[in-house]
């Protein structure tokens, strides 16, 4: 186990970092000299992921839907690392009911507002929305102590109300109450957090990875994890004069809420 980081070494926590975009973000931040905390529901998977990272990486058991797990993670970070400079809320799920043999069109039909299972909505929102808020609340005391902390919420362009209000938007047909609307709610949380913290200097921004090839979409995405992680990494490394309350994509720039 590496020594406790010195006061000049920034610490970044990434939730859901044992695979996919989260793991790639962790790798890139570690390569830039940060201590990275690989948040993972399953500690063994987190430990295995941390072993693949070239740099100062540590697995942290963190289930964003479990209050005790979140509290334990916050306590460990304070006691073992003494600081937190970057929080990247990356953990997310797309569904609990989509079967491997289902097409996106079939799943979309089962999640229209008129027929969607409320249990499905609650389960996805529990991770994608309430989990983010719970982690934010637990980690904020540490972030407030950092010289210029940053919070990055990994959202999705699917959640843009402006885009989905455009009849020509290619993703409009799949907008619904489960995953897409959970990202709309996450965007709202981002704005609320940014407003709360605007006088503190803590930067809060949302990013979209784009349609990235990950477990979240059964690896049907068209972008690599490196491309998907790029914007989160950029925003996580913003200086104290960087923007707050924005929603951005690596290639498309600033997106409408």
User: In which residue are the tokens 């930067």 written?
Assistant: 203
Contact 157, 172 (CB under 8 A): no
Choosing from 27, 179, 211, 251, the catalytic residue is 179
> What is the phi/psi pair of residue 182, to 5°?
-65, -35
Q: Pairing relation of β-strands 86-89 and 150-154?
A: parallel
Of the residues 27, 107, 136, 183, which is catalytic? 183
**CA 122 to mean position of chain CA atoms:** 18
Determine whether 183 is an active site residue: yes
Terminal Cα-to-Cα distance of the chain (whole angstroms): 42
Give the chain's length. Answer: 257
- Nearest C-alpha neighbor of 154 from the set 220, 120, 205, 188: 205
List all residues 6 or more positions away from 107 whose beta carbon is below 8 Å from its beta carbon. 95, 97, 98
Residues catalogued as catalytic: 179, 183
């Amino acid at each position: 186990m590496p020594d406790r980081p010195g006061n000049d070494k920034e610490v970044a926590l990434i939730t859901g970092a044992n695979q996919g975009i989260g793991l790639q973000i962790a790798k890139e931040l570690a390569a830039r000299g940060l201590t990275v905390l690989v948040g993972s529901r399953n500690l063994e998977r987190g430990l295995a992921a941390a072993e693949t990272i070239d740099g100062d990486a540590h697995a942290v058991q963190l289930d964003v839907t479990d209050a005790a797990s979140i509290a334990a993670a916050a306590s460990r970070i304070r006691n073992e690392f003494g600081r937190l400079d970057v929080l990247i809320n990356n953990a997310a799920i797309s569904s609990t009911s989509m079967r491997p043999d289902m097409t996106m069109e079939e799943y979309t039909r089962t999640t229209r507002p008129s027929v969607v299972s409320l249990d499905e909505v609650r389960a996805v929102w529990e991770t994608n929305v309430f989990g983010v808020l719970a982690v934010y609340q637990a980690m904020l005391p540490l972030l407030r102590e950092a010289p210029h902390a940053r919070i990055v919420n990994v959202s999705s362009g699917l959640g843009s109300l402006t885009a989905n209000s455009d009849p020509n938007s290619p993703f409009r047909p799949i907008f619904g109450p489960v995953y897409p609307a959970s990202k709309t709610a996450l965007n709202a949380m981002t704005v609320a957090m940014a407003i709360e913290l605007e006088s503190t200097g803590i930067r809060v921004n949302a990013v979209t990875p784009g349609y990235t090839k990950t477990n979240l979409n059964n690896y049907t995405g068209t972008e690599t994890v490196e491309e998907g992680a790029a914007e989160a990494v950029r925003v996580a490394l913003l200086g104290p004069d960087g923007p707050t309350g924005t929603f951005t994509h690596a290639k498309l720039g600033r997106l409408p809420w």
